[in-house]
């Protein structure tokens, strides 16, 4: 619901408009002539009328000339000249072909010095050989007839409005050249689809002129004509393609990518006897996916990883936000020591403390896997004890039925029946009987 203030502004503009400025149309009309010239059809129609008028003028002049010829021999030269001039005008009009009404009207309304005005160069050259008097006279006659005919014709409203424009340019064939309006061409798949920050797009400038790309912060990059360039969209916001030559432009929006970060929780080292690293996302703007050592298997704000060997492990968190944009961040997680079933390095068979008087790697007492453990005399290489029980080794040699000597070290070896994914099957170590 709009607030009071909003309503006041909205209603203030309901009927509000500024007074019309006729000059503004002239400017727009000129612009339209450049980008959207009037169709030749209109010109042809007008030219047809013009020819009719010119033809009538010629006939009239011919009659006048004939009268002058018979009545005044002194004016015969002028009459002849008139006829020649009219031929010139006719010839020019014919050659002008589709020359516009604007140009013709300008000719008609110009004062006497038409020969030096905007009519074709042929007129200028031919009339340039005549005396000033002759030229003036000829033009006046032409002018009078032309104006008279136009004034009594049924020309359209715009026909009566001569414009001093140069939008139609006669060519060698006397056909108007349509001013070229360059179209910006670029290879840009799916302009309306999601374009996200920090991506690289290849653009091809197929134009004959350079193409400029302006970033939201105003940074510019130019692609030369008929060249391609890889553009790194480093900013979110509106990018603009600009054709400096034609001043045309188009825009596209690059959407913001999510900010993504996570931390490694070092509080918990083992869970259920298995080495565990907890990963926690620090941002949550959409879908989260974890990639742990190339394994994409977890989604959500937290993930757990099991690293069994000392070393660095690569963890990547990928986030997709509501814009559909994706970004990710990677961190290296360092594990300080090898996992070895959390085995103690010594035990005391004679102790009354049940936690100390037997040897069993601690992880085996809580892990959900069967195993087989061997105790080996390192000197003889013989197995002096083996078990599948979580009770462990009590210190007795199964061969001699005697407790092993104190302060003597033995090798233990454990084979897991069902190791965890990515976990080795066998572990070993040394334990000393105290």
> CA torsion angle for 163, 166, 168, 172 (degrees, to 10)?
140
Spatial distance between the Cα atoms of 167 and 40, rounded to a whole number of angstroms: 12
The answer to whether 110 and 117 are in contact (CB under 8 A) is yes
* Kind and range of the H or E run holding 202: strand 199-204
Q: Does 193 bind other proteins (CB under 8 A)?
A: no
Q: In terms of DSSP bridges, do strands 426-433 and 346-347 run parallel, antiparallel, or are they unpaired?
A: parallel
> Which 8-state DSSP code applies to residue 49?
H
Task: Name the minimum Å distance from CB 171 to other proteins.
Answer: 21
Considering only residues 25, 125, 302, 382, which one is a binding residue for other proteins as defined by CB under 8 A? 25
Q: Which of 70, 130, 123, 68 is nearest to 94 (CA)?
A: 123
Q: Does 194 bind other proteins (CB under 8 A)?
A: no
Nearer to other proteins, 254 or 414 (CB): 254
Considering only residues 57, 78, 139, 254, which one is a binding residue for other proteins as defined by CB under 8 A? 254
Considering only residues 80, 166, 171, 251, which one is a binding residue for other proteins as defined by CB under 8 A? 251
Site residues for other proteins, window 40-79 (CB under 8 A)?
Answer: 42
What 3 state SS string does 136-149 have? Answer: HHHHHHHHHHHHHH
Task: Name the minimum Å distance from CB 245 to other proteins.
Answer: 16
Residue whose token pair is 């920050």: 197
Token pair belonging to 136? 């003036």
- The piece of 2-10, 199-207, 359-367, 424-432 that touches other proteins (CB under 8 A) is 2-10
Task: Name the minimum Å distance from CB 190 to other proteins.
Answer: 15
Site residues for other proteins, window 205-244 (CB under 8 A)?
Answer: 214, 216-218, 236-238, 240, 242
* Kind and range of the H or E run holding 396: none
Q: Does 11 bind other proteins (CB under 8 A)?
A: yes
Nearer to other proteins, 106 or 305 (CB): 106
Task: Name the minimum Å distance from CB 248 to other proteins.
Answer: 10
What is the chain's length? Answer: 434
- The piece of 4-12, 79-87, 286-294, 416-424 that touches other proteins (CB under 8 A) is 4-12
Spatial distance between the Cα atoms of 92 and 194, rounded to a whole number of angstroms: 59
Give residues with Cβ within 8 angstroms of 45, minimum separation 6: none
Task: Name the minimum Å distance from CB 46 to other proteins.
Answer: 13
Considering only residues 24, 200, 353, 401, which one is a binding residue for other proteins as defined by CB under 8 A? 24
Q: Which of 27, 24, 23 is nearest to 165 (CA)?
A: 27
Interface with other proteins (CB under 8 A): 2-6, 8-13, 15-21, 24-25, 27-29, 31-32, 35-36, 38-39, 42, 156-158, 214, 216-218, 236-238, 240, 242, 249, 251, 253-256
């Amino acid at each position: 619901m709009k607030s009071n203030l909003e309503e006041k502004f909205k209603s203030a503009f309901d009927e509000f408009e500024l007074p019309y400025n006729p000059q503004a149309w002239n400017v727009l009309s000129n612009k339209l002539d450049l980008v959207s010239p009037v169709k030749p059809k209109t010109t042809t129609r007008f030219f047809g009328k013009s020819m009719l008028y010119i033809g009538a003028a010629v006939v009239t002049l011919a009659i006048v000339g004939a009268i002058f010829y018979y009545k005044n021999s002194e004016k015969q030269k002028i009459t002849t000249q008139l006829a020649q001039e009219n031929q010139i005008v006719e010839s020019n009009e014919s050659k002008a072909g589709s020359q516009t009404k604007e140009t013709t009207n300008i000719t008609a309304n110009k004062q006497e010095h038409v020969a030096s005005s905007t009519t074709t160069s042929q007129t200028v050259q031919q009339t340039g050989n005549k005396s000033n008097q002759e030229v003036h006279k000829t033009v006046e006659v032409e002018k009078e007839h032309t104006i008279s005919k136009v004034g009594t014709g049924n020309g359209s409203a715009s026909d009566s409005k001569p414009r001093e424009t140069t939008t139609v340019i006669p060519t060698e064939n006397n056909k108007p050249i349509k001013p070229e309006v360059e179209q910006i061409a670029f290879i840009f798949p799916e302009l309306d689809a999601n374009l996200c920050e920090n991506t690289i797009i290849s653009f091809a400038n197929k134009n004959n002129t350079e193409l400029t790309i302006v970033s939201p912060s105003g940074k510019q990059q130019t692609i030369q004509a008929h060249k391609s360039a890889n553009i790194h969209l480093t900013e979110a916001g509106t990018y603009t393609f600009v054709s400096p030559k034609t001043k045309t432009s188009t825009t596209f929006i690059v959407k913001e990518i999510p900010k993504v970060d996570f931390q490694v929780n070092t509080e918990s080292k083992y869970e259920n006897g298995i080495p565990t690293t907890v990963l926690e996302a620090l941002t949550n703007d959409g879908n989260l996916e974890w990639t742990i050592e190339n394994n994409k298997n977890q989604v959500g704000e937290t993930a757990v990883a099991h690293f069994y060997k000392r070393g660095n492990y690569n963890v990547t968190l990928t986030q997709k936000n509501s814009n559909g944009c994706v970004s990710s961040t990677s961190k290296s997680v360092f594990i300080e020591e090898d996992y070895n079933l959390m085995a103690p390095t010594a035990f005391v068979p004679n102790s009354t403390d049940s936690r100390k008087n037997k040897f069993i790697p601690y992880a085996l007492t809580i892990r959900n896997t069967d195993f087989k453990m061997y105790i080996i005399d390192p000197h003889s290489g013989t197995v002096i004890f083996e078990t599948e029980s979580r009770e462990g080794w009590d210190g007795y040699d199964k061969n001699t039925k005697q407790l092993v000597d104190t302060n003597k070290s033995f090798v233990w070896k454990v084979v897991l029946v069902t190791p965890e994914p990515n976990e080795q099957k066998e572990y070993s170590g040394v334990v000393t009987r105290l």
